Amino acid sequence: MIEKLESRNIIRAVIVLVLLCGVRTSFAQIDESAVAAIKTVVIDAGHGGKDPGCHGASAHEKHVCLSMALMLGDLIKEKYPQIDVVYTRKTDVFVELDERAKIANRHNADLFICIHANAASPQAYGTETYVLGLHRTESQQRVAERENSIIHLEEDGGAKYKDFDLSPDAIIARQIQLSVFLDQSISFASKLQSEFKRIGRHDRGVKQAGFLVLYKTTMPSVLIETGFLTNPKEEKFLSSPETQKLMAESMFTAFRKYKNELEGIDEEVVGPKVPVINENTPPENSVAVENQNEVVFRVQVETSESKIPLTSSRFKGYTIFEYEQGGLYKYTIGQYPNAFSEANKMKNTLRENGFQHAFVVAFLNGERINLQKAIKLAEK
């Protein structure tokens, strides 16, 4: 009898173990599936085909954007083969704005990454990343209007958008409707800007504007303005395969950090290696190189009798330029060749960000000069 009971107990124990193993396997599968916050990414290379986008002396937006988009996609597929990477275009073809958003929505994408290049004055430089929202400045409005204007190249001349509402009220309503996605979009956009800054690019910040392609997507979405093709130095930077790769690697690093954050993964993520640069010398690829006899405006935020580490938390992560004058150490942010108005805008932004006593200063051939004189020289 005892032997029979022991035999039954052994059988029961084996059955229980098998069931537990099955349950554990099931739980493991569920947990693995649950943490996979990103299964599909749609990468949108701006413009294409009959729509070249903006251009510099030789480079066109449609080409540089496609190159970086394909590089980014390859990096994601290499690291995360389980993620489905979808492109709105992989060649030089024209894709309507409406269709770009539809591609993302049809694939139930978890993230939409739109890659563009910017256009403005020859002095403008740096990267900025947009999420859907109301523009706060005329320059933000102009960027959105330029990118939205390609609807006139579509077969119906943009007729399908005739009754499309991009009024402030409509955008606010859409933001509320997609509030969770907007928070995630801002999180990813912030990580992108941080990575661009880490490789020496000038950080123009995370911004909002009424982009049609962002309005129509139903997932976290960002539009990256990688630089200004209208600036000769930026054009050279964005046209080079080496620096295109550096930009794509920075986007990928931001993507990894964003993915890990969503999935609660504690992993140290290191971005692409960049040349070691003296912190007092602005990196070349940020277009922070002063030309001889060129007036350069900066925004001064700090003065001290002793040196302050350029990585000090008091500078809030900004790239700092240090100079000495009158036995004092002085610290500035930004570099605006012949562009006082841009420096003044930066001053206002910095004051809003806690640098209450920020003010514009000017340099000529590395020496600080009178501001009014500098403005007159710049105008010439």
Task: State pLDDT tens for residues 64-92.
Answer: 999 999 999 999 999 999 999 999 999 99
pLDDT of 32 reads 43
Please state the CATH superfamily assignment of the domain spanning residues 290-379 in this structure.
Sporulation related repeat (3.30.70.1070)
Q: Give burial (CB, 10 Å; 0-12/13-18/19+) of 76.
A: buried
Domain limits, CATH 3.30.70.1070, in the chain:
290-379
pTM, whole model, 2 decimals?
0.60
Domain limits, CATH 3.40.630.40, in the chain:
35-263
What's the mean pLDDT in 260-278? 76
* Alpha carbon distance 340, 106 (integer Å): 46
CB 374 within 8 A of CB 364: yes
Q: Is the predicted pLDDT of residue 113 greater than 60, yes or no?
A: yes
Q: Is the predicted pLDDT of residue 169 greater than 50, yes or no?
A: yes
State pLDDT tens for residues 218-250.
899 999 999 999 999 999 999 999 999 999 999
pLDDT of 9 reads 45
For the four alpha carbons of 176, 178, 180 and 181, in that order, the dihedral sign comes to: negative
Q: Give burial (CB, 10 Å; 0-12/13-18/19+) of 100.
A: buried
- Please tell me which of 25-29, 92-96, 119-123, 149-153 the model is most confident about, judged by mean pLDDT: 92-96
Q: Is the predicted pLDDT of residue 371 greater than 60, yes or no?
A: yes
Residues contacting 297, CB < 8 A, separation 6+? 334, 335, 336, 337, 339, 340, 342, 343, 360, 361, 362, 363, 374, 378
Q: Is the predicted pLDDT of residue 254 greater than 50, yes or no?
A: yes
pLDDT of 145 reads 59
Kindly report the CA angle at 82 between 79 and 83, in degrees rounded to 5? 80
* Alpha carbon distance 295, 48 (integer Å): 37
What's the mean pLDDT in 155-164? 56
CATH class of the domain whose range is 35-263: alpha beta
pLDDT of 120 reads 87
Q: What percentage of the chain reaches a pLDDT higher than 90?
A: 43
